[in-house]
């Protein structure tokens, strides 16, 4: 849907391309169109920056700040290994650390031969929301008892929950006073709780 709308267009007409593409389809918005349109937008700004011989941030008005905070991604197969990885990042200066227990994304996924065809969050998936959601619990993340109150911990759910599961997980994680809980719901569920 997007590609035919770009052929022959003037690359410098970024806003016109974005607006007309965003509103042109029968099914407007949604994650697929937004991802495609985001890629097109970045590419068009990159072209404009190269033509001007300037970095894109200069074209958009210059820098806003000298630095931005960022976070590290700590992992571990056990709580102890995760805590050790968190400490490693704290020692090199990170103040915010995202915690992932086990192989990234692997705990919630089950082999297809056991999972079969499941419908979760409105789409076919072999992902076990129960396993992913409740694996992260009081005994599964580093605690203030071991790390103190200085570090800001985060956790990513990867959009695999339904609203009632997101609420349950948030309650479980409340004692950790997370800095943020990332991607609790898929975009199509955000209006349900908003």
Active site residue 158: yes
Q: Give the closest residue to 126 by CA, choosing from 115, 136, 134.
A: 115
DSSP string, 78-107: SHHHHHHHHHHHHHTT-SEEEEEESSTTTT
**Pairing status of strand 152-156 against strand 96-101:** parallel
13, 22, 57, 104: the active-site residue: 104
Q: How far apart are CA 144 and CA 17, in angstroms?
A: 49
Helices 14-24 & 31-52 angle (0-180, nearest 10) = 170
57, 158, 164, 189: the active-site residue: 158
Active site residue 189: no
**Pairing status of strand 123-125 against strand 152-156:** unpaired
- DSSP state, residue 156: E
Q: Which positions are catalytic? A: 104, 158
């Amino acid at each position: 849907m997007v590609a035919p709308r770009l052929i022959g267009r003037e690359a410098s007409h970024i806003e016109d391309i974005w607006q007309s593409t965003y509103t042109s389809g029968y099914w407007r918005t949604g994650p697929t169109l937004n991802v495609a349109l985001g890629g097109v937008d970045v590419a068009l700004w990159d072209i404009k920056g190269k033509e001007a011989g300037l970095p894109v941030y200069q074209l958009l008005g210059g820098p806003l700040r000298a630095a931005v905070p960022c976070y590290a991604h700590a992992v571990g197969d056990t709580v102890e290994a995760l805590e050790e990885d968190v400490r490693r990042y704290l020692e090199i200066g990170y103040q915010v650390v995202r915690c992932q227990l086990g192989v990234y994304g692997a705990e919630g996924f089950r082999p297809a031969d056991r999972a079969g065809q499941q419908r979760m969050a409105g789409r076919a998936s072999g992902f076990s929301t129960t396993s992913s959601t409740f694996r992260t619990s009081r005994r599964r993340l580093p605690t203030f008892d071991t790390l103190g109150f200085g570090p800001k911990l985060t956790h990513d759910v990867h959009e695999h929950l339904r609203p009632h599961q997101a609420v349950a997980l948030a309650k479980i994680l409340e004692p950790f006073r997370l800095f943020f809980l990332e991607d609790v719901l898929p975009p199509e569920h955000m209006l349900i709780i908003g």
